[in-house]
Homo-oligomer: A and B are copies of this chain.
């Protein structure tokens, strides 16, 4: 499709940003200046800058001019059809997997030595000794039949502890609002089962955790992907357009330290989102499984903003204690009765030993201390992984800098096809998660997600090897696309080392 003039201008600037030629904080030419330089009307440049602003590439500073904003790593660029008014992308679609998924699944089942494709922590970080002790005690403790059913909503002392922990996230839950599940995954699946019937439409930010697609497909649901912007999550403008024009049954979001993009939705946006959805009477499935792994302040939640019971808050101890426990929970608001019913008919209840042991660990086992230490260790692993990516990946690569969680979203130069990298890496016994896994739109082909929840020499080597595979796809003499006039050449690479730029 032919681009309009203002689209051409906007795209050139985006390319400079994506190349690393224009960096965060750089001033770009004023509207008048660029209008003169390119011989285009002021209105055309204005339109282009407006688009760039809307997409959060640049920001206007009053009395000063336009500056490149701190960038999140996006596959959605300014040529996307994401603009609500013109978009055909925003119709509901069936879930049809890209071929790469089939291969990814196959590989996931094999025993990969270096798995950068999962979302998990080093087992060294787990409180194994503690859990062994509490589990042993749980089996023997006289006051609870630890081998009997602990029926939904679940072991009361555990729900009490979950409610207490929630305070740190700004949640004010009572144990009576909480249902214990077999992990957060099941909590989300239960939510979808409770809220939707086959053929219904679910919306969420894109890119998104790929397992969601499997649940949606199994339940025969349709989806609308809505672009995420600038480290703040879903575009509310686009969401509103969709809610206005389509019949939507539920929204799903990973609100904090998002998988795969790492952002936490800011507080004001959570508030706005909850209000917006309430206006359309649409429930929100909030997946906050990463929220407790905060390197600085523990971010708040959408649930905390919810007064109408429309938020189904899902989380688990899979990231903060250990995944094999399969202990998660849901605070489903108005959907409580329905979720309780489905949980029971699905598999009766969560295992008892784990419910009792986790409750004990939270109450008297120094869980808070464990969490503080864990955050520190994870933060360190993430920093190391990030440095390795910056060191080994091609120039022009951008990588997120999350304030929590342990997932890095990497955006490579557009030459790089991460599906190809993924296949080549597989042969070297390395698993990565290529960008196209996180969408049904065939996008993010130059992106990948890396698991930074563990760090050791093998992983470092694997990152370096992955970087080499990417590098091999970048043309030796890159011709940077430049603006048509010499006045607006890309500035020289400040580090001059062919290293990728680090974006926040």
Contacts and interface: CB of A to CB of B under 8 A. Distances in A.
Interface stretch (A133-141, A238-246, A472-480, A485-493): A133-141
Nearest to A134: B139
Interface stretch (A185-193, A222-230, A408-416): A185-193
Contacts of A346: 185-186, 189, 215, 346
Interface stretch (A11-19, A30-38, A349-357, A360-368): A349-357
Contacts of A354: 351, 353
A147 interface: yes
Contact of A135 (B136, B321, B322, B349): B136
A189 B218 CA distance: 13
Interface string A132-160: 10011001100001111111000000000
B149 A211 contact: no
A198 interface: yes
A348 interface: yes
Contacts of A128: 139, 146-147
Nearest to A322: B147
A148 B323 contact: yes
Contact of A132 (B136, B183, B323, B345): B136
Contact of A149 (B197, B324, B351): B324
A186 B193 CA distance: 15
A183 B323 contact: no
A149 B126 CA distance: 13
Main secondary structure of the interface of A (DSSP, over half): helix
A183 B148 CA distance: 13
A345 B149 contact: no
B147 A126 contact: yes
Nearest to A342: B218
Nearest to A356: B324
Given A139-B131, A351-B351, A147 B324 contact: yes
A350 B326 contact: yes
Contact of A123 (B148, B182, B197, B220): B148
A321 B351 CA distance: 14
Contacts of A345: 185, 189, 211, 214-215, 218
B145 A123 contact: yes
B347 A324 contact: no
A48 interface: no
Contacts of A185: 345-348
Contact of A326 (B140, B197, B322, B351): B351
Interface in A305-323: 321-323
A325 interface: yes
A341 interface: yes
Contact of A325 (B136, B326, B342, B351): B351
Nearest to A182: B347
A343 to B, nearest CB: 10
Contact of A139 (B132, B211, B342): B132
Nearest to A132: B139
Interface of A: 109, 123, 126, 128, 131-132, 135-136, 139-140, 145-151, 181-183, 185-186, 189, 193, 197-198, 211, 214-215, 218, 220, 321-326, 341-342, 344-354
Given A135-B353, A326-B351, A347-B347, 7 more contacts: A131-B147, A149-B323, A186-B348, A218-B341, A324-B352, A325-B351, A351-B354
